[in-house]
């Protein structure tokens, strides 16, 4: 057996240390955002019932409440993968969870930008009074931190940007109908965001739609930039002059890492990393998959013999 494959290369040290730290950050920020989100939601409902004397469900007329609830739900889906990231030394999300997390992050970030850019100037108490500072600022920042720590191997497109602002746009349509078409006097909603007080609806509604798309796009651009940076960092770790045998040794070592830390019933193949290796050194993906799987199976069998007490 080639002993070089038994030694951790800088690339594998990067994967086991740096990515583990990202998992821990994502887990901690996720837990804090979940706690603060529910604190803000409960406090908002309590304010509606005890102070305003209204039905608790009217609290959810606010997009702030809906976006915090959505963000808490998305974090709940992310939790198991952050734990696996710490245990397996790699934090990566399935695409559907990553997209859900992105849409929730965009939704709650839109709230924060609107509050900081508009509401804090015209209605400071509504922006930061009572528990609003939690749902308007703290939770969005924590969700953004959690989102930017994740890795899904996919770049976000303009279609994803449109999806990211879709919940806000849907809410804005309902808000427009309730406030402008029906009106509070006829049983519609109160203009809780004070849109009519400071701008014509003909200007305010399109401006808010543009704001939603812009925030969604900025988050996607930052996410894509981070994804590209991680790829480039991974590329820089492996020497440019590695020959095909050395590349296979790296893949072999990654198989050992996966076999050591993975559950045999739910092994995760780092296909994106292997694909990067193959592309960088002009190899077929099979050339790096074979040594990875070979060492993975060896490690799993050795673990099985050790756990069962059988001699090697």
pTM: 0.74
Structure confidence at residue 232 (pLDDT): 74
pLDDT at 89 over 80: no
Q: Which residue has the higher pLDDT, 264 or 229?
A: 229
**pLDDT confidence band for 213 (50 / 70 / 90):** very high
Are 110 and 70 in contact by the 8 Å Cβ rule? The answer is no
Let me know if 101 is exposed, middle or buried by CB neighbors in 10 A (0-12, 13-18, 19+).
buried
Structure confidence at residue 183 (pLDDT): 86
Are 41 and 67 in contact by the 8 Å Cβ rule? The answer is no
Q: Which residue has the higher pLDDT, 81 or 171?
A: 171
Average pLDDT over residues 130-144: 84
Q: Which residue has the higher pLDDT, 193 or 287?
A: 287
Structure confidence at residue 231 (pLDDT): 72
Average pLDDT over residues 53-75: 81
Share of the chain above pLDDT 70, in %: 79
**pLDDT confidence band for 161 (50 / 70 / 90):** very high
Are 107 and 168 in contact by the 8 Å Cβ rule? The answer is yes
pLDDT at 107 over 70: yes
Structure confidence at residue 215 (pLDDT): 96
Which of 6-10, 120-124, 267-271 is the least confident region? 6-10
Structure confidence at residue 6 (pLDDT): 47
pLDDT at 88 over 50: yes
Instruction: With residue 259 as reference, give the H or E element that holds it.
Output: helix 244-261
pLDDT at 165 over 60: yes
Structure confidence at residue 17 (pLDDT): 45
pLDDT at 84 over 70: no
* DSSP E strands, the chain: none
Mean of the per-residue pLDDT values for the chain?
Answer: 79
Secondary structure (DSSP) of 157-215:
-HHHHHHHHHHHHHHHHHHHIIIIII-GGGT----TT-HHHHS-HHHHHHHHHHHHHHH
Q: Which residue has the higher pLDDT, 281 or 126?
A: 281
Give the pLDDT confidence of 215-261 residue by residue, as tens digits.
999 999 999 998 888 777 766 666 677 788 888 888 888 787 777 76
Maximum mean pLDDT: which of 19-23, 248-252, 273-277? 248-252
Structure confidence at residue 240 (pLDDT): 72
For 52, 100, 168, 216, the CA distances from 163, given in Å and listed in that order, are 35, 10, 10, 9
Structure confidence at residue 16 (pLDDT): 46
pLDDT at 14 over 60: no
Are 267 and 261 in contact by the 8 Å Cβ rule? The answer is no
Q: Is 72 left (phi over 0), alpha (psi -120 to 50) or beta?
A: alpha
Average pLDDT over residues 5-16: 48
């Amino acid at each position: 057996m080639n002993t070089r494959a038994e030694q951790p290369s800088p690339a594998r040290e990067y994967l086991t240390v740096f990515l583990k730290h990202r998992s821990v950050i994502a887990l901690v920020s996720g837990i804090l955002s979940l706690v603060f989100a529910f604190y803000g939601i409960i406090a908002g409902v309590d304010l509606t019932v005890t102070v305003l004397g209204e039905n608790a469900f009217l609290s959810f007329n606010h997009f702030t409440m809906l976006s915090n609830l959505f963000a808490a739900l998305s974090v709940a889906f992310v939790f198991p993968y952050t734990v696996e990231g710490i245990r397996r030394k790699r934090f990566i999300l399935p695409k559907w969870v990553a997209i859900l997390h992105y849409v929730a992050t965009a939704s709650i970030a839109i709230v924060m930008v609107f509050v900081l850019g508009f509401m804090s100037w015209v209605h400071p108490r509504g922006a930061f009074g009572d528990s609003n500072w939690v749902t308007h600022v703290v939770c969005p920042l924590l969700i953004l931190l959690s989102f930017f720590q994740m890795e899904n191997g996919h770049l976000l497109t303009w279609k994803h940007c449109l999806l990211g602002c879709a919940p806000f746009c849907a809410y804005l349509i309902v808000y427009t109908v309730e406030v402008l078409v029906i009106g509070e006097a006829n049983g519609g909603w109160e203009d809780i965001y004070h849109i009519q007080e400071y701008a014509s609806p003909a200007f305010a509604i399109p401006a808010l739609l543009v704001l939603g798309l812009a925030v969604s796009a900025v988050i996607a651009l930052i996410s894509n930039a981070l994804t590209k940076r991680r790829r480039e960092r991974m590329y820089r770790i492996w020497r440019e002059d590695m020959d095909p045998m050395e590349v296979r040794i790296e893949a072999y070592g990654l198989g050992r890492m996966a076999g050591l830390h993975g559950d045999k019933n739910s092994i995760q193949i780092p296909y994106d990393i292997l694909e990067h290796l193959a592309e960088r050194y002009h190899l077929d993906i099979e050339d790096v998959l074979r040594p990875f799987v070979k060492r993975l199976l060896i490690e799993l069998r050795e673990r099985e013999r050790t756990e069962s007490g059988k001699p090697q």
